[in-house]
Structures are given as C-alpha cells and as structure tokens.
Chains A and B, each alone.
Chain A
C-alpha cells in the first residue's frame, strides 16, 4: 500500500470539496478500498474518511418508505427489524460477520469486481486498460455467462440484485447536486471509454438507498450459490420479487447476480410469469426462458445449470 494523506470530514459538503482534488478517494468501510490499495491496483494520494458524516448513517422506515443511509453497515441493515426479508436473506451469506460489521451499504454497491485477472497486479486486463479480457482464453470458471462486451467480470454484490428486485433507488450527490435514480441504472456494462462496472464517479457521494411502499409489500426472496458453505462471493445468485394478486404474480422482477457485468434481468422470463399462477411447470418454464440466451465460456457452463435451478426455486418460493 502506497503512503497517502488522510483527512476526516464531518459533512457531505466537506467531502465533496476534498474529493474534487486529483487522485483522491473516499474511504468508508474500507473493506474493498484497502484491498485494492494493498494490491496496488489503485494508489490514491489522499483518502477522505467520510465515516463522520452523521446524516449518511441510519435507517428510517415507514410503511411507504424504507431509507438506508449509505454509511449504514451491512450488519446494521441486516439487524434492523424493518429491513425487508429479501435483504436479510441476501446479507445472511454476504461475506463474513466481520466484513458485514465494517462494510457499508454504499460501498457494497460500488465495490469492484472479483475477477482474478482484474485483482492480479501482474495482469493488465482489459478493464484496467489492457488490450483484451484475459478471462476469455484464461480460467473463466467464475465469469460471465451473459453479455456481449469486452469484459467478462461479474457483479459481486449480494445486496444489489436484492435491492433491484425491490426497485430501489439510490440518492447521490454529484457535481450537479442531489440526484435520485433507479439503482439498476447505476450498473452499466463497461465500455472502452468507461472501463468501470458502474456509473458512480470517484468524486460522487452515495447518500442513501430507498425502497418504496409498493415494493416493500411484494413477496421476495434471494438465493445464493457458493462452493463452500459460507464466505464466498456468489457463484450465481438470484433475487426474485412479485406481487401476488389472487394467487397470480404481478410486477415480477428476477435479477441474477454474478452472471454478467451487471445485475441481469431477462424481461421475457419475467413476462412469462406475469399474470400467472406459480406452479412447478410455470417456474421451470420461467427458468428455462431465463437461461435461454446464456452464452457460457469454456469453463462455466455449469453456471447456466445452477442459474436455471436457482431461478426455478426462487420463483417457487414467491408463492410462500
């Protein structure tokens, strides 16, 4: 880890001011940032510690609105009584207890991906400015099974698919002031000009995440597949939600994590469920449709099978 200067700020304004400087990064939980710095993947000259900004902490919950400050830790979010069940499910197997105690909601949403070529300081992959994605001809057992882009990394967050399944919005402070947008829109597959997993700039500040009342009343569930019982980033994850009207599904969301550059939805699969009763045959059809367009790489065809099964099971669980 290269040496750096360090400042603590007490307000979002102070943070915004300092973050305008070149090669300056904000530190909140630090669990991803310090890992990147220890590998020398990023070498900021200055760190701005935002943990003292009181307004970014805490959870406010009403029947119509669930708002989580960006500095709320994953553990605090998981423990709150008003936190939707799907979020609790997503956090139960996210990282480890210590990491959940440290990591913040804001940081979780903008963490960098876990691709081992990206994480290796000695590999210059496409996302880090190299000529091509090294996973394509390399070991790609954990990589993307969807998407056309250059980069085959996958979204690591457990929280993001669950929040998107609840149509969460994110409140940000950018150069243009305070802005609110659907969380899903934060995630944009990297392009040659924007080699990043999301649209949040280094000087942007995430203030909070919000879930509206409609979504809070949906049936929703989160399933995660790992190769050991705990402490692994998702090999595949699925968040699903729906409103049940007289036993028929409405407002269906099925969001898969760890299968593409961004949290992945297949509209046609959701449509297959909309207005229908949930049963075994329907769940299987939805799952089949979800994976129909998957294009696995050499080593990760198994992820398609796992995804199909997770979608099927998640859809069935919406009944309960």
Chain B
C-alpha cells in the first residue's frame, strides 16, 4: 500500500486562491509527453452517458417519483423587507390532501423572523400533489410589517451601511504611474444582474430510513451538500447520502445545499414520507442565485507609444442579501497585463434582492468587460490597433507573483484568432453594411482564469474478472462531459476500449471528489483517476508476470496483451482475467499538489464581428472566434461544445439578459423565460473554436487544466468593442440593448 501524507496545496477556485492541506498517497507521475501515442486521451469521443440523455431515460432529480412522495411548496415574501408578524395556516390545513404547514413558530430552524428580499421563505406547505400544495400555499395568510428597503445598486452604493470593502490589491505606486502617463482613460462601466436559469430547477428529494437520510439533489457539489445538510440537521456524515445521477445545468448556482434541501430533509423526517421540494421558474429567478450587477470605475494610464503606466480598478458588486463573499471583479486587472503600478478595490453592496451566487467565472466576466473595454478606449485615444496595445503590455511572468506560468500561449491565441477572424479587414471607424444604416465592426478581448484544480480528489478502479473496469469517484456530471473525460483517462492507462470502462459516480458513498465548478473538475479528479489506473496496471502486470514467469518490469500492456520485452512472449489479458476469476484488482489514486514555483492559468482571446443598425440600435453578432489555451484537451468534441456554450451564455449577457427590478415594489419583473431573454437558436452567431495545441505539462499528470469557465469571460467586451468599432457607439453598460446603442450614438 502506498503511504499517505499530508501536503500543502494552493488551488485557485472562482478567481481566488485557497491554501489548504490535503492528504495524498504514493507519488505522482509525469504528464504524457507530446509525442506519446494515446488512444483515448486527446481524441474526440461521444459522451458515455449520451444514450440516457437523448432518450429521456436519464433520471434527473426532478424526475424522481418515490412511492408515497409528498410535495413541498414554499410560501414566499412579496415584500423586499418586512417582519413576519403572524402566519395563519388554518385555511390551508383545512384543504383535503394537505399534510403539513410549517412556519417560524413550528420550524424555527427553517425560517427567519425578518425577510430581506422578495421571495424570501416564510412558510412551507406539504401536500399530496403539486397542485394541492400550490392551492394550499395560496391559502396561507401572512401578516407582515413592512420595513424600508433598497433594491437599486446605485442607490445602495450611496448608503455607507450597505457597502463593505472586501478586497484590495496594489503593486507599485498607482499615483506615480498616472503622473507618468501621457494619456489616461477614466471610465465607468455597469453590468446587469445575470440570472442562471439552468433548465433543471434547483431542488431535492429526501427519504429517511431510520436515522439515515438519502437526498437526491440537483447539485454541482454532492459533498458540499452532504456537509451542509449534515450540519443543518445535526447528522453524521455517514448518515447522509447525497445522490446526483444526472444534472440539468448549474453554472455555479448549485455549489452548495439549498434551503430546499433542508426543507426536504427536515419535513421528510417529521412526516415519515419522502418529500420533494423543487423550485418553479419564478423561484429560480428570485432565490437561487445570480451574477452580481456591478458598477466599476477603471482608470488606465499609458505613454504615447502605448505602454501602460498605471491601472486602477474599483468595483462595487451587488450581492443582494449575501454578506459573506463577493466575486473578484478586479481579478483580471490585477493579473492580466504587465503594468508596474496597479491599485484595485472590491466592494460588496447589500440590497434587498435575492442573494448572489457563483455564476460561471464570477467576477472575471464582469471585470473583463470593464477592463477590456477600457483597453479599447485607450487604443482609440492612442490611435493604436487594439491588438497591438494588448501585445505591447503582454505579461510574460505572472505580474502578481513574479513567477513563471506553467504555460502561457496568449500570444498564439491572439495571432491565431486574428487570422481566423480576418482581423486585417478591421478598419478604424468600422466598415459599411448592406444598407447605409448598417455598420460592421470587429472587436477583441482577452481571457485569463485559473482552473488548475488540485487536491483533494480520490478515485478507485475495480478491475473485474472479465476485463471490464469500474471507476468509482465522487463525481457529478453537470453536462460538461467530465464523465466521458474521466472514462477516457482510465481507458487510456488501462489499455481498454472505452466501452469496457464503466463509471460509478453520482453519490457521496464514493471517495471524495471535487465540486463541478471553478473549471477544475477534470484537472482535479483526472490525475487521481490516472494514478488509480496506473495502480491497477501495476498489479495486473505483477499477476501477468507471475503467469508468464518473467519479471513485472520486463513486460508492458498493449492491445489487450501483456508483452514481454520486444517481440517476446505475449499473453492475452483475457487469459489473465480468466485465471483471476472472482478476484478484484483494486487501484487507488489521489490528486497530488500543484507545483509551487509556477502559476497555473488559462488564457484565451475572443474576436467578435457585429453589425449595428444605427437607426434602431439593433446589434447582430455575426461571428465569434474563440481561441483558448488550457494545455491538453482530453476530448476535443466536448471541449468545442463547452466553448460554444460559454460563448452563447456570454452573448446573452452582452446583448439581451438582465434582471429587471421594480424600484418601488422591489420585485423582479422578468422572473420568467419570456421576459428574461436568453439566446435562442437564431441568435447564435457563427462560432469558430480553436485550441492552442501545446501541453501544460507542469500543471498535473494530464498536462492540461480546466475549460468550463474561460469561454464565457471575454466575449462581452469583444462584442462591446466591435460595436464601438462599427459605429462609434461606446456602450459602457450591459446588456447592450438597442436603447443603449441609440443613446450612445447620440453622445
């Protein structure tokens, strides 16, 4: 057995660096070399869970129908801020089929006396059917005492009691840097609240067996759900089993347990029946998280020839009622460019709106829009090509740590992207469209992100007597294709066809696995799976060596055979297996720490081409070129899809999505998929995806890091820059609506 030891590790998650202790076993192995002949890794493979997902057979949390299952419906506050005086459930309880109504007096662990946003929970009704629960929820009478509230971000920023400084960063002397500047851009950018609207709603189904709880939950982080729920209901970890077989999108909003998880767990125990608590679409838009709206001020100073002398970025992010953390909006400014003098501040601003949560590259999406818009404004003033300005301030070393990057090929992203986009066609002032009122333009923007992953992550692989393998890991697949990537890695190292590797994932009785977030799932778990497979192979070779009467070090696995030396003895693995019969070969692997001396980051560049109707303000995005560098791509087919998806979400963020709040009532007016406009199939432009082929061999034993979030980061700024190029309208507010384009054109 390999010995276990505790190591220190630095992991970057959602734009922040965490230093943690982790338990690892054995020793790591080097990444596959560039010329390694790999049969699975790096090749396009169809998703291993595809047949389930396209046939309707995949059972998502919301599809679970347990015998005797009851339905919980939450009664929510119509007030943005109020005290709950009285809850009268008499009429609700009188309705046939209603099993329970609980509020603060009967379930103090579930509710607060004060509600701080429209949609905050006040009571829960449990009924035999969804319809009955909804009827009863309507009959619960609640008396409130209204309290003062603010839902508008700008209004809240003006109120000191609602603003907290959460992060600040500086290097050099920004003041001096601005004194040295020939040109200064000083601009204010604002972004709207983006709502996740994962199609599968948040929700949980709870069932108790004595003291043991099974919780099916639509989540990106089963182990965090287990921890959170166990703590909330004061249970032991082994008494809570969380299951998530299939998951219908999370995008950051399902990284922990929800109030619904607690409702289901607590009430299922009380009532002795399984309980389903699943959000409806309105609840999805009110209470399950969002990307913070921001107000940002960016100042960039540069010399006449375009060398940055100073950069200052101050961001205010509306976190709703979340007062614990805030996303790092200033992260891109702190770390993207080589500039000696930087100062940034990140403020959290409380409003009476639903709490924010992580949303695919939280902070970096908002911050990159501001920073990369400002860079283009600077290029305009300097009469420099925007790409040239970026190249001029290219950081070869990580500007924050002074360390080398494990891999940085941003320059290749720029040059290949420019080629694919036809950047040489770009003209200052844009080009003409088919009509006099149509203008075309191009824009570029840069992406930087973490996603290196790290420990802890563990996997075991069981090799069966028929030569099939089962990979067991605490992994959930949220639609990103991780499951397929993991199967490819295992198949590669085991020299097995993909269809002989089965995954046993989706529940917490497995070894710990990371959250599906922070672009780190494959980069965290993949190396552990590879080591588990190596462990299996080592044992298998020992067995084969025994049977072949040679030393294990003299044979290798190839094509389902153990081969001794060059052209030596050959033994079919099936023969080995048949000798093993009911024995199980068990391989174990754990994720080892990241290298200390380099910074792991991914880079990319997006190029947008747009057409603007200068009479109506309509913006049509024609093309997005996305070139990314993450090192090894495990599955090019899924990776391309991942990028197209990120670009599409970014497109919505850039031109059509934004929560609408009514300042007078504090309500979200577009809490539905009619008025909250995510892109449709007809909105999606031509998306060209390419990856820099170089491997990131220092990062981990796969040679690559994560891709989940990078593709959503730079798009909005690229589009805004293209709009400005097309028609001179610099829109500093997202989304770039026709109204805003027309307003900018008037300026």
Contact = CB atoms under 8 A, between A and B. Distances in A.
A137 B738 contact: no
Given A116-B675, A139-B669, A225 B616 contact: yes
Given A122-B78, A309-B616, A227 B669 contact: no
A228 B669 contact: no
Contact of B617 (A117, A228, A231, A305): A305
Contacts of B680: 228-231
Interface string A86-125: 0000000000000000000000000000101100101100
Interface string A273-312: 0000000000000000000000000011110011011100
Given A116-B675, A302-B617, A227 B738 contact: yes
A232 B135 contact: no
Contacts of B742: 302, 305
Interface residues of B, number: 34
Nearest to A35: B674
Contacts of B616: 225, 305-306, 309-310
A192 interface: no
Interface in A57-83: none
B738 A230 contact: no
A230 B662 contact: no
B314 to A, nearest CB: 27
Contacts of A122: 78, 665, 667
A40 interface: yes
A141 interface: yes
A99 B665 CA distance: 32
B645 to A, nearest CB: 17
B300 to A, nearest CB: 30
B244 to A, nearest CB: 29
A235 to B, nearest CB: 8
A134 interface: yes
A299 B667 contact: no
Given A123-B667, A139-B669, A229 B618 contact: no
Given A116-B660, A122-B78, 7 more contacts: A3-B135, A227-B737, A228-B656, A228-B682, A235-B738, A305-B742, A309-B616
A222 to B, nearest CB: 16
Nearest to B665: A123
B353 to A, nearest CB: 14
B419 interface: no
Interface in B638-690: 655-656, 660-665, 667, 669-670, 674-675, 677, 679-680, 682-683
Nearest to A302: B739
Contacts of A141: 660, 739
A34 interface: no
Contacts of A134: 662, 664-665
A193 interface: no
B236 interface: no
Interface in B66-80: 78
A227 B679 CA distance: 10
Contacts of B138: 40
B682 A116 contact: no
A138 B664 contact: yes
A1 interface: yes
Interface string A213-254: 000000000000101111111010000000000000000000
A122 B677 CA distance: 22
B738 A306 contact: yes
A230 B669 contact: no
B131 interface: yes
Contacts of B669: 116-117, 120, 138-139
Contacts of B738: 225, 227, 235, 302, 306
10 contacts: A117-B669, A227-B738, A228-B679, A228-B682, A301-B739, A302-B617, A305-B616, A305-B617, A306-B738, A309-B437
Contact of B739 (A1, A114, A120, A299): A299
A232 B677 contact: yes
- Name the residue in A114, A116, A225 with the highest tally of chain B Cβ atoms < 10 Å from its Cβ: A116
Given A40-B138, A120-B667, A139-B660, A225 B618 contact: yes
A308 B617 CA distance: 12
B662 A305 contact: no
Contacts of A302: 617, 737-739, 742-743
B8 interface: no
Interface string A21-47: 000000000000000000010000000
Contacts of A2: 135
A117 B135 CA distance: 22
Contacts of A233: 674
Contacts of A123: 662, 665, 667
Contacts of A301: 739
A137 B615 contact: no
Contacts of A138: 662-665, 669
A232 B395 CA distance: 44
Contacts of B615: 305, 308-309
Contacts of B667: 120, 122-123
Interface string B117-140: 000000000000001001100100
A134 B662 CA distance: 10
B677 A228 contact: yes
Contacts of B618: 225, 227
A116 B617 contact: no
B622 to A, nearest CB: 12
A137 B664 contact: yes
B737 A116 contact: no
Contacts of B662: 117, 123, 134, 138-139
A310 B482 CA distance: 48
A3 to B, nearest CB: 8
Nearest to B672: A119
Contacts of A227: 618, 655-656, 677, 737-738
Interface string B734-747: 00011100110000
A235 B680 CA distance: 17
Contacts of A230: 680, 682-683
A42 to B, nearest CB: 14
B664 A229 contact: no
